[in-house]
Amino acid sequence: MLPFLSPAVLGIAGTIGTFVLNAVGLAIAFAASRIGVIVAIRLAVVTVMVTLLIASLYALSQIGAALNAVMPQGWSVVQQWVIPPNLRTCCAIMLTAQITAWLWSWKQYVLDHLSNIS
Per-residue DSSP letter, 118: -
Q: Mean pLDDT of all residues in the chain?
A: 81
Where b means 16+ CB within 10 Å and e means fewer, 87-108 reads ebeeebbebbeebeeeeeeeee
pLDDT of residue 69: 84
C-alpha separations of 44 from 9, 41, 48, 98, 115 in Å? 52, 5, 6, 17, 23
- 46-56 as b/e, with b when 16 or more CB fall inside 10 Å? eeebeebbeeb
pLDDT single digits (tens) 43-96: 888 888 888 888 888 988 888 888 888 888 888 788 888 888 888 889 888 988
Amino acid at 111: L
